[in-house]
Amino acid sequence: MFFHWLIALLIITTFIFGSIMVDIPGITPNKLRYYSWHKWIGISIFGLTCLRLLWRLTHTPPEFPLTLPVWQKKAASGLHVFLYLLIFGIPLSGYLFSLASGIPIVYLGIFPMPIIINPNPELKPLLKELHYVLNMALLISFGLHVLAALKHQFVDRDGIISRIVP
Ligand code: HEM
């Protein structure tokens, strides 16, 4: 629950920073600040998601309600796996895009991050596009995830939300 809500908050924050910063014309101090915050939050999300996955693999999650049809259990688990893949893939594509653009990343302005690829003008547009497309996939999946949660809470009233709300 702790990881779920913290990571959700960070994703929403960095998604908003990402969407605003790319539309700021020219190079301004604010734009550069937003790019840095965006990257630092994104890297934190990656690290926290690794910890979350470790926790998830070593702890059994609460059961789904017995009344839940099997197809809905499968759909929910499938969407959860897809969300995990996106939450790993998005920071990774952003990280590689920065490096391909020749911009090294210094986490929190203190810790230089590993340079795992060299500047690469050919790869740069592909990684930029990948970062964007994965973000759009996240937006859609997040919408489905929230709609499903709202349906269970207010239409089915099956208390499934207690799996993730204390
Ligand atoms: C879960 C984490 C992340 C989310 C949700 C996210 C989301 C976004 C969004 C919504 C945009 C705007 C895309 C557009 O409208 O073109 C963006 C752009 C960008 N992101 Fe991320 N991002 C994440 C992680 C990262 C990380 C870790 C880095 C680098 C270390 C990064 C680097 C960038 C860069 C450089 C851009 C600007 C692309 C451009 O110039 O068009 N992102 N991101």
106-154, pLDDT tens digit by residue?
A: 999 999 999 999 999 999 999 999 999 999 999 999 999 999 999 999 9
Strand partners, 112: 106
The answer, yes or no, to whether any atom of ligand 1 lies below 6 A from the CB of 132, is yes
Q: How far is the CA of 17 from the centre of ligand 1 (A)?
A: 8
Closest-CA residue to 93 (of 121, 122, 125, 118): 125
Give residue limits of the domains in the chain.
Answer: 2-163
Distance of CA 112 to the CA centre of its chain: 22
pLDDT at 65 over 90: no
> Which among 14, 108, 113 is the best mutation to test ligand 1's pocket, defined by most ligand atoms within 8 Å of the CB?
14
28-55, pLDDT tens digit by residue?
A: 999 999 999 999 999 999 999 999 999 9
66-113, pLDDT tens digit by residue?
A: 889 999 999 999 999 999 999 999 999 999 999 999 999 999 999 999
Global pTM value? 0.95
